[in-house]
Protein backbone atom coordinates (compact mmCIF):
# COMPACT_ATOMS: atom_id res chain seq x y z
CA UNK A 1 0.00 0.00 0.00
CA UNK A 2 1.40 3.41 -0.87
CA UNK A 3 1.76 6.12 1.76
CA UNK A 4 -1.20 8.22 0.52
CA UNK A 5 -3.56 5.23 0.50
CA UNK A 6 -2.39 4.30 4.00
CA UNK A 7 -3.06 7.85 5.28
CA UNK A 8 -6.49 7.88 3.64
CA UNK A 9 -7.51 4.57 5.27
CA UNK A 10 -6.43 5.95 8.66
CA UNK A 11 -8.84 8.87 8.29
CA UNK A 12 -11.88 6.72 7.52
CA UNK A 13 -14.44 5.97 10.19
CA UNK A 14 -17.20 3.42 10.35
CA UNK A 15 -20.95 3.83 10.92
CA UNK A 16 -23.32 0.88 11.28
CA UNK A 17 -27.03 1.54 10.95
CA UNK A 18 -30.21 -0.51 10.67
CA UNK A 19 -33.49 1.00 9.58
CA UNK A 20 -35.53 -1.64 7.83
CA UNK A 21 -34.41 -3.36 4.67
CA UNK A 22 -30.71 -2.81 4.01
CA UNK A 23 -31.33 -2.17 0.30
CA UNK A 24 -32.97 1.17 1.16
CA UNK A 25 -30.17 2.45 3.35
CA UNK A 26 -27.46 1.14 1.02
CA UNK A 27 -28.94 3.00 -1.99
CA UNK A 28 -28.96 6.29 -0.09
CA UNK A 29 -25.57 6.10 1.61
CA UNK A 30 -23.81 5.08 -1.62
CA UNK A 31 -24.71 8.50 -3.07
CA UNK A 32 -23.19 10.63 -0.30
CA UNK A 33 -19.98 12.62 -0.66
CA UNK A 34 -17.29 11.25 1.63
CA UNK A 35 -18.76 7.75 1.83
CA UNK A 36 -16.17 5.28 0.57
CA UNK A 37 -18.09 2.03 0.92
CA UNK A 38 -21.44 0.66 2.03
CA UNK A 39 -21.82 -3.03 2.80
CA UNK A 40 -25.21 -4.57 3.50
CA UNK A 41 -25.08 -7.06 6.34
CA UNK A 42 -26.34 -8.40 9.63
CA UNK A 43 -25.50 -7.49 13.23
CA UNK A 44 -26.79 -7.75 16.76
CA UNK A 45 -27.81 -11.38 16.85
CA UNK A 46 -26.68 -14.61 18.39
CA UNK A 47 -25.76 -16.74 15.38
CA UNK A 48 -22.31 -16.30 13.83
CA UNK A 49 -22.31 -15.86 10.04
CA UNK A 50 -26.09 -15.92 9.56
CA UNK A 51 -27.74 -16.39 6.19
CA UNK A 52 -30.42 -14.11 4.78
CA UNK A 53 -32.94 -16.92 5.09
CA UNK A 54 -32.11 -17.40 8.79
CA UNK A 55 -32.24 -13.66 9.52
CA UNK A 56 -35.63 -13.41 7.78
CA UNK A 57 -37.11 -15.84 10.29
CA UNK A 58 -36.53 -13.24 13.01
CA UNK A 59 -35.08 -15.96 15.22
CA UNK A 60 -31.37 -15.09 14.94
CA UNK A 61 -31.72 -11.71 16.65
CA UNK A 62 -29.80 -9.99 13.85
CA UNK A 63 -30.88 -6.73 12.26
CA UNK A 64 -30.38 -5.93 8.60
CA UNK A 65 -27.75 -3.18 8.64
CA UNK A 66 -25.44 -1.18 6.44
CA UNK A 67 -21.80 -0.88 7.45
CA UNK A 68 -20.46 2.43 6.12
CA UNK A 69 -16.84 3.54 5.71
CA UNK A 70 -16.73 7.35 5.54
CA UNK A 71 -14.29 10.23 5.61
CA UNK A 72 -15.22 12.46 8.59
CA UNK A 73 -13.38 15.40 7.00
CA UNK A 74 -16.03 15.35 4.24
CA UNK A 75 -19.19 14.05 5.95
CA UNK A 76 -19.76 14.01 9.69
CA UNK A 77 -21.18 11.15 11.71
CA UNK A 78 -23.93 13.54 12.83
CA UNK A 79 -24.85 14.21 9.18
CA UNK A 80 -25.05 10.46 8.53
CA UNK A 81 -27.43 10.14 11.48
CA UNK A 82 -29.55 13.08 10.37
CA UNK A 83 -29.98 11.37 7.00
CA UNK A 84 -30.78 8.10 8.78
CA UNK A 85 -33.62 9.71 10.73
CA UNK A 86 -35.15 11.17 7.57
CA UNK A 87 -35.07 8.03 5.42
CA UNK A 88 -36.76 5.65 7.85
CA UNK A 89 -39.36 5.78 10.61
CA UNK A 90 -37.56 5.55 13.96
CA UNK A 91 -40.83 5.40 15.88
CA UNK A 92 -41.99 1.95 14.78
CA UNK A 93 -40.75 -0.98 16.82
CA UNK A 94 -39.46 -3.84 14.68
CA UNK A 95 -40.91 -2.79 11.36
CA UNK A 96 -40.63 -0.40 8.47
CA UNK A 97 -43.56 -0.18 6.08
CA UNK A 98 -44.56 -3.72 5.14
CA UNK A 99 -41.36 -5.25 6.55
CA UNK A 100 -42.07 -6.72 10.00
CA UNK A 101 -39.76 -8.45 12.48
CA UNK A 102 -36.82 -7.68 14.76
CA UNK A 103 -34.52 -7.87 11.73
CA UNK A 104 -36.07 -4.57 10.56
CA UNK A 105 -35.61 -2.69 13.83
CA UNK A 106 -34.23 0.83 13.99
CA UNK A 107 -30.73 0.53 15.44
CA UNK A 108 -27.46 2.44 15.62
CA UNK A 109 -24.40 0.34 16.40
CA UNK A 110 -21.67 2.70 17.62
CA UNK A 111 -17.93 2.22 17.16
CA UNK A 112 -16.68 4.73 19.74
CA UNK A 113 -17.71 6.66 22.80
CA UNK A 114 -17.95 9.76 20.61
CA UNK A 115 -20.41 8.05 18.26
CA UNK A 116 -22.44 6.83 21.23
CA UNK A 117 -22.63 10.38 22.62
CA UNK A 118 -23.59 11.88 19.25
CA UNK A 119 -26.28 9.22 18.64
CA UNK A 120 -27.88 9.92 22.02
CA UNK A 121 -27.67 13.69 21.41
CA UNK A 122 -29.39 13.41 18.03
CA UNK A 123 -32.21 11.28 19.48
CA UNK A 124 -32.67 13.78 22.36
CA UNK A 125 -32.78 16.65 19.88
CA UNK A 126 -35.44 14.87 17.81
CA UNK A 127 -37.51 14.19 20.91
CA UNK A 128 -37.13 17.77 22.20
CA UNK A 129 -38.09 19.22 18.81
CA UNK A 130 -41.07 16.83 18.63
CA UNK A 131 -40.20 15.95 15.04
CA UNK A 132 -42.25 12.76 15.34
CA UNK A 133 -45.68 12.28 16.89
CA UNK A 134 -44.57 9.05 18.59
CA UNK A 135 -41.40 8.45 20.64
CA UNK A 136 -38.17 7.44 18.90
CA UNK A 137 -37.55 3.73 19.59
CA UNK A 138 -34.15 3.51 17.88
CA UNK A 139 -31.85 1.18 19.79
CA UNK A 140 -28.30 2.48 20.40
CA UNK A 141 -25.70 -0.17 21.22
CA UNK A 142 -21.98 -0.76 20.89
CA UNK A 143 -21.15 -2.42 17.60
CA UNK A 144 -21.16 -6.21 17.83
CA UNK A 145 -19.73 -8.56 15.22
CA UNK A 146 -20.90 -7.53 11.77
CA UNK A 147 -21.47 -10.06 9.02
CA UNK A 148 -21.66 -9.03 5.36
CA UNK A 149 -24.80 -10.17 3.57
CA UNK A 150 -24.58 -12.47 0.59
CA UNK A 151 -23.10 -11.02 -2.61
CA UNK A 152 -26.49 -10.78 -4.33
CA UNK A 153 -27.61 -8.23 -1.71
CA UNK A 154 -24.68 -5.87 -2.34
CA UNK A 155 -25.35 -2.86 -4.60
CA UNK A 156 -28.87 -4.19 -4.95
CA UNK A 157 -30.63 -1.02 -6.07
CA UNK A 158 -27.88 -0.14 -8.55
CA UNK A 159 -28.19 -3.58 -10.11
CA UNK A 160 -31.99 -3.90 -9.96
CA UNK A 161 -33.56 -0.41 -10.12
CA UNK A 162 -36.72 -1.74 -11.83
CA UNK A 163 -37.33 -4.66 -9.46
CA UNK A 164 -40.75 -4.21 -7.77
CA UNK A 165 -39.50 -3.56 -4.22
CA UNK A 166 -36.89 -1.14 -5.54
CA UNK A 167 -39.48 0.85 -7.51
CA UNK A 168 -42.08 0.88 -4.73
CA UNK A 169 -39.91 1.27 -1.61
CA UNK A 170 -36.24 2.04 -2.31
CA UNK A 171 -36.69 4.67 -5.03
CA UNK A 172 -39.06 6.88 -2.96
CA UNK A 173 -36.63 6.85 -0.01
CA UNK A 174 -33.79 7.74 -2.34
CA UNK A 175 -35.87 10.58 -3.83
CA UNK A 176 -36.69 11.88 -0.33
CA UNK A 177 -32.97 11.89 0.54
CA UNK A 178 -32.01 13.60 -2.72
CA UNK A 179 -34.61 16.35 -2.23
CA UNK A 180 -33.67 17.13 1.38
CA UNK A 181 -29.88 16.63 1.24
CA UNK A 182 -28.95 17.93 -2.23
CA UNK A 183 -25.68 19.43 -1.03
CA UNK A 184 -24.45 16.06 0.30
CA UNK A 185 -24.89 14.14 -2.96
CA UNK A 186 -21.61 12.95 -4.50
CA UNK A 187 -20.90 14.60 -7.88
CA UNK A 188 -21.19 11.34 -9.83
CA UNK A 189 -24.83 11.07 -8.64
CA UNK A 190 -25.79 14.73 -9.19
- Cα gap 140→120, rounded to integer Å: 8
Residue 56 falls in the annotated catalytic set: no
**Are 141 and 16 in contact, with CB atoms under 8 Å apart?**
no
Percent helix, strand and coil across the chain, each to the nearest 5: 45, 20, 35
| Distant-in-sequence contacts of 183-190, Cβ < 8 A, 24+ apart | 184/32, 184/33, 184/75, 184/79, 184/83, 185/31, 185/32, 185/33, 186/31, 186/32, 186/33, 186/34, 186/35, 187/33, 189/31
According to DSSP, residue 47 is labeled S
What residues are labeled active site? 21
Amino acid sequence: MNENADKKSQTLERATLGGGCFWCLEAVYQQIQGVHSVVSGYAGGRDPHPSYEAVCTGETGHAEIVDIQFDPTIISYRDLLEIFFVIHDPTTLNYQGNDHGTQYRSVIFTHSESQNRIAHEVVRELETAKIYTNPVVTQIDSAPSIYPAEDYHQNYFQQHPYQGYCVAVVAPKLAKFRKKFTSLIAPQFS
